């Protein structure tokens, strides 16, 4: 198991590589090229420069997040093949710089959604919050303005800014698409890309839908155990796997996260784990929380124990953190709370590991 942290390059992150390097137990970063338009090949020379910068800081660049999939692929349009070819070429370039794992998602139109990125909690820290009714009231035009910084003055990491103006039209397109057709489009992508992942020895790790329930009538498919089984059956290659995000899947109270860890970890299909906690306000309202079990509704010890018992050998990162101690940073991606979370998770892993050794 390797503990890593997400880092946004080229001055887009207030957290420095030096600070990450000083966080005990963290061996590397999961990073991206956010300025490359979706559907274009990630340039090899840019990736090499990024790798060199990270390695010079004493860290590894074995994980990449957010090689975003062009919407034409998700829609199943005739133009998808040229974008898939670009994705295949990007995988080759990632191989050339030593990448071992790629976290991506197949969420239509938008990535994760929240109603508030700076909700102030009782202890004075701020977290990202989700209130279902408020999100439903945010029509695509209002959401696009919010994402451009005109409505609330913030931006959500992982969303595709260049697509915001077309958000309403894209949502309308999916209203007539069946779930079966969406699964077909996903399989088409996997069957085209997984052979290259095998060739280049890069584990493909899909991220769950966040939140894991329907929104704006869009198809949401990576949401629970049954759907994950369906996804993995689309392509049986061990390179077709998961980023198991406890915060995303844990937003649905019906998901048993330790059971998911055991089932899919036992199949060796969990390549990356995003670990964080959530505090439910109601069935479909929640706040992100500090990583400790006592701070949310997820039993983090049982989650780590299940992951360990499954024989997990991939990458873990503390997921979205709170804003604490006056820190001003990209929502969810400050240094302080994520560093605390990383060391809490490392402590849990050590405790679980030693408890199993003592039983032998």
Mean of pLDDT values over 305-325: 96
pLDDT at 113: 87
**Active-site residue, 333 included:** yes
Q: Give one DSSP letter per residue of 27-66, joined into a string.
A: EEEEE--TTSPTTSPPPHHHHHHHHHHHHHTT-EEEEEE-
- What are the tens digits of pLDDT across the range 186-240? 999 999 999 999 999 999 999 999 999 988 899 999 999 999 999 999 999 999 9
At 109, is the pLDDT very low, low, confident or very high (cuts 50, 70, 90)? confident
pLDDT higher than threshold 80 for residue 155: no
**Active-site residue, 308 included:** no
pLDDT at 134: 87
Angle at 45 between CA 44 and CA 46, to 5 degrees: 90
Name the token pair of 73. 């692929």
pLDDT at 265: 97
**Which residues contact residue 179 at a Cβ distance below 8 angstroms, ignoring those fewer than 6 apart?**
219, 221
Catalytic residue among 83, 87, 315, 333: 333
Catalytic residue among 116, 320, 336, 337: 320
**Active-site residue, 210 included:** no
At 145, is the pLDDT very low, low, confident or very high (cuts 50, 70, 90)? low
- Other C-beta atoms lying within 10 Å of the C-beta of residue 336: 18
CA 315 to chain centre: 12
pLDDT higher than threshold 60 for residue 161: no
CATH topology of domain 2-359: TIM Barrel (3.20.20)
Going edge to edge, which strands form the sheet with 116-120?
116-120, 126-131, 285-289, 277-282
If one compares 117 and 127, the residue with the highest pLDDT of the two is 127
pLDDT higher than threshold 50 for residue 78: yes
pLDDT at 151: 40
**Active-site residue, 132 included:** no
Catalytic residue among 70, 132, 271, 274: 274
| CA 38 to each of CA 33, 42, 252, 325, 343: distance values in angstroms, whole numbers, following the listed order | 10, 9, 30, 36, 34
Catalytic residue among 70, 93, 132, 207: 207
Pair type for strands 126-131 and 270-275: unpaired
CA dist., res. 337 & res. 359, Å (int): 33
Mean of pLDDT values over 142-171: 56
Least confident of 92-106, 127-141, 298-312: 127-141
| CA 184 to each of CA 76, 177, 311: distance values in angstroms, whole numbers, following the listed order | 8, 11, 31
Catalytic residue among 116, 252, 287, 319: 319
**Active-site residue, 356 included:** no
Catalytic residue among 245, 287, 336, 337: 245
CA dist., res. 289 & res. 276, Å (int): 7
| Contact present, 261 and 310 (Cβ < 8 Å) | yes
Q: Give one DSSP letter per residue of 69-91, joined into a string.
A: PPHHHHHT-TTHHHHHHHHHHHH
If one compares 10 and 271, the residue with the highest pLDDT of the two is 271
pLDDT higher than threshold 80 for residue 149: no
Percent of the chain with pLDDT over 70: 92
């Amino acid at each position: 198991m390797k503990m890593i942290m997400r880092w946004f390059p080229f001055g887009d992150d207030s957290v420095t590589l030096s600070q990450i390097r000083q966080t005990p137990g963290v061996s590397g970063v999961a990073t991206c090229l956010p300025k490359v338009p979706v559907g274009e090949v990630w340039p090899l020379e840019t990736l090499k420069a990024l790798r060199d910068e990270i390695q010079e800081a004493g860290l590894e660049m074995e994980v990449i997040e957010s090689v975003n999939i062009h919407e034409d692929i998700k829609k199943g349009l005739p133009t998808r093949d040229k974008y898939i070819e670009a994705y295949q070429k990007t995988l080759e370039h990632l191989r050339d710089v030593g990448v071992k794992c790629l976290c991506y998602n197949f969420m239509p139109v938008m990535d994760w959604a929240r109603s508030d990125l700076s909700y102030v909690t009782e202890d004075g820290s701020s977290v990202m919050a989700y209130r279902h009714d408020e999100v439903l009231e945010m029509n695509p035009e209002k959401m696009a303005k919010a994402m451009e910084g005109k409505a609330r003055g913030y931006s959500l990491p992982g969303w595709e800014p260049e697509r915001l103006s077309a958000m309403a039209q894209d949502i309308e397109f999916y209203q007539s698409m069946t779930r079966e057709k969406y699964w077909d489009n996903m399989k088409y992508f996997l069957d085209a890309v997984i052979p290259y992942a095998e060739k280049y020895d890069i584990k493909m790790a899909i991220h769950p839908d966040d939140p894991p329930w329907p929104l704006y009538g869009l198809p949401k498919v990576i949401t629970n155990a049954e759907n994950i089984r369906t996804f993995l059956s689309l392509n049986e290659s061990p390179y077709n796997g998961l980023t198991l995000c406890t915060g995303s899947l844990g937003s649905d109270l019906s998901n048993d996260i330790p059971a998911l860890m055991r089932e899919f970890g036992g199949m060796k299909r969990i390549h990356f784990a995003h670990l964080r906690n959530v505090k439910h306000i109601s069935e479909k309202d929640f706040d992100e929380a500090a990583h400790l079990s006592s701070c949310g509704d997820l039993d983090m010890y049982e989650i780590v124990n299940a992951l360990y018992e499954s024989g997990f050998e991939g990458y873990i990162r503390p997921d979205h953190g709170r804003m604490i101690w006056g820190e001003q940073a990209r929502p969810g991606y400050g240094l302080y709370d994520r560093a605390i979370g990383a060391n809490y998770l490392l402590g849990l892993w050590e405790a679980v590991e030693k408890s199993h050794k003592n039983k032998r």
